[in-house]
Chain A
Amino acid sequence: MSDHAPVTDWVHDFDHTDPRWTENPFPIWEELRATSPVVHTERFLGCYLPTTFEAVKQIAYDTEHFSSRRVVVRDVRPEPAPAPPITSDPPEHKPAKQLLLPPFTPDAVKKLEPRVRAICNELIDEFIEDKGCDVAGRYAKHIPVRTIAHMLGIPEADSDFFIKWIHEILELGIKDQAILMQAVQEMGEYFAGHIEHRKKHPTDDLISTLMNARDKNGQPLSDVHVLGSLRLLLIAGIDTTWSAIGASLWHLAKTPADRERLVAEPELLPSAIEEFLRAYSPVTMAREVMKETTISGCPVKPGNMLLLSFPAANRDPAVFPDADKVVIDRKQNPHAAFGLGIHRCVGSNLARMEMTVAIEEWLKRIPDFTLDPAGKVTWSEGTVRGPRQLPVLFGKPS
């Protein structure tokens, strides 16, 4: 595992794994945005960062110069492990994505809502009698992992494995290729077992849906394709939503005015959720530069990776007035938390439903809570940002 030297010059040497970025990236993005719409670092074998909404959008729409075959910026460039459609470029992208879209429409995810509501209440039952809890570790973390297990038709009790693999792939794997490869292999073996089982015993879950899918020539998908898509659903569906739920509750724990307003005016919840998604967008994607081009006047060259920071775009004051303020009834909020262009997050409707139910059920049962002054809030590093430890106390502050 390689340790990175601390950053002294963010403009020419940024590092999204630096502890200061992990703790509070917003002032860093502001400094970079004031300097240039695109900045570069020699770290990670060369990487760009667009800092404005306009630059992020231009790159997200440009599949000719920017490939999705690698969607995480790491110290190394291992052979890409396909996880279609997130790692697919046109023309392969569209058919792979269309297979996944129908189970994730708002109407389809609505059917999962009762299970999600039950999961939230089962979790709250475990700590409601205590003085407080770690919201990230005991609540936010478990909601998406159990929901996606329920959808895929795999045991919710295996959740701890999934959380371990995701931590290894998205966080430790940025700097340690051996851990990354090991986790990818373990996950592959796990799903291969479930696929084999369904060949003899078909089910009506999402794994079977993928196995029964046919491509445009009427052929079933290869096991590698099915496995890649399953890996994607598990990785993309868990710590992203965990982070979004955690960041929303973090905001509410430290902002009594917003908390009281949401309790009194629950009809504001949809706009509050959109604002939490904008202000605390968890997901930074990546692209690989394939051909030389210019973004917002800045030349970008092949051989470099590029951090596609939707979170930084969503803090751009050119698009969002008072971008650094959280305004829970913001009327105009066309944020890019779920991406822009053809790679719009396939699970966005599921994530919104989980966030809404998680905040709703929490506020019904725990309307008053504050950050525990004796505890420490910690944030995840790298690609997905959210609280990993979030100690709160229940009740009004004494």
Chain B
Amino acid sequence: MSGKLKVHVDQDRCQGHARCKSLASELFELDQFGNAHEIGDGTVPAGLEDKAWLAQANCPEIAIEVTEE
């Protein structure tokens, strides 16, 4: 557990449940249709790792990828 985390929302899977935004608003934003996108390039700032995993675990469409660099 050393590398930085990155999050990414798969646009083919996201259906706009908005769970990620409510659990981790520092990492995700919604577009005009309510579909989610990672903020910036998806790099997870130090201290927000748990929120990234939490958002992933609560997405009903399994649309969130969390990768470790």
**Residues of A participating in the B interface, judged by any CB pair closer than 8 Å:** 98, 101-102, 104-107, 270, 274, 331-336, 338, 340-342, 344, 348-349
B33 near A336: Cβ-Cβ < 8 Å = no
A105 near B30: Cβ-Cβ < 8 Å = yes
A107 to B16 CA separation, bound complex (whole angstroms): 13
How many residue pairs link A and B with beta carbons under 8 A? The number is 52
Interface status of B45 (Cβ within 8 A of chain A):
no
Of A98, A333, A334, A335, the most chain B CB neighbours within 10 A belong to A334
Q: Which of A270, A340, A348 contacts B61 (CB 8 A)?
A: A340
A336 to B16 CA separation, bound complex (whole angstroms): 13
Q: Which residue on B lies nearest to A336, using beta carbons?
A: B60
Say yes or no: A332-B17 contact (C-beta < 8 A), given A105-B32, A105-B34.
no
Q: Which of B17, B21, B33, B59 contacts A102 (CB 8 A)?
A: B33
Interface residues on B, range: 10 to 19
Of B17, B33, B62, the most chain A CB neighbours within 10 A belong to B17
A101 near B34: Cβ-Cβ < 8 Å = yes
Q: Which residue on A lies nearest to B32, using beta carbons?
A: A102
Which chain B residues border A104 with CB–CB below 8 Å?
34
Q: Which residue on A lies nearest to B22, using beta carbons?
A: A270
Interface status of B43 (Cβ within 8 A of chain A):
no
Which chain A residues border B16 with CB–CB below 8 Å?
101, 344, 348
Of B19, B32, B34, the most chain A CB neighbours within 10 A belong to B34
Interface status of B18 (Cβ within 8 A of chain A):
yes
Say yes or no: A106-B58 contact (C-beta < 8 A), given A101-B33, A101-B34.
no
Say yes or no: A348-B58 contact (C-beta < 8 A), given A105-B30, A106-B34.
no
With A104-B34, A274-B58, A340-B60 known, 12 other A-B pairs at CB within 8 A are A105-B18, A106-B18, A106-B34, A107-B30, A334-B60, A336-B60, A340-B15, A344-B15, A344-B16, A348-B18, A349-B18, A349-B34
Which chain A residues border B60 with CB–CB below 8 Å?
334-336, 338, 340
Interface status of B48 (Cβ within 8 A of chain A):
no
Contact with A along B16-47 (1 / 0, CB 8 A): 11110110000000101110000000000000
A331 near B34: Cβ-Cβ < 8 Å = no
Can you sample 5 A-B contacts with CB below 8 Å?
A101-B33, A101-B34, A105-B30, A106-B22, A332-B57
Q: Which residue on B lies nearest to A339, using beta carbons?
A: B15
CB B7 to nearest CB in A, in angstroms, measures 16
Which chain B residues border A340 with CB–CB below 8 Å?
15, 60-61
B32 near A334: Cβ-Cβ < 8 Å = no
Which chain A residues border B17 with CB–CB below 8 Å?
338, 344, 348
Which chain B residues border A344 with CB–CB below 8 Å?
15-17
Of B33, B59, B62, the most chain A CB neighbours within 10 A belong to B33
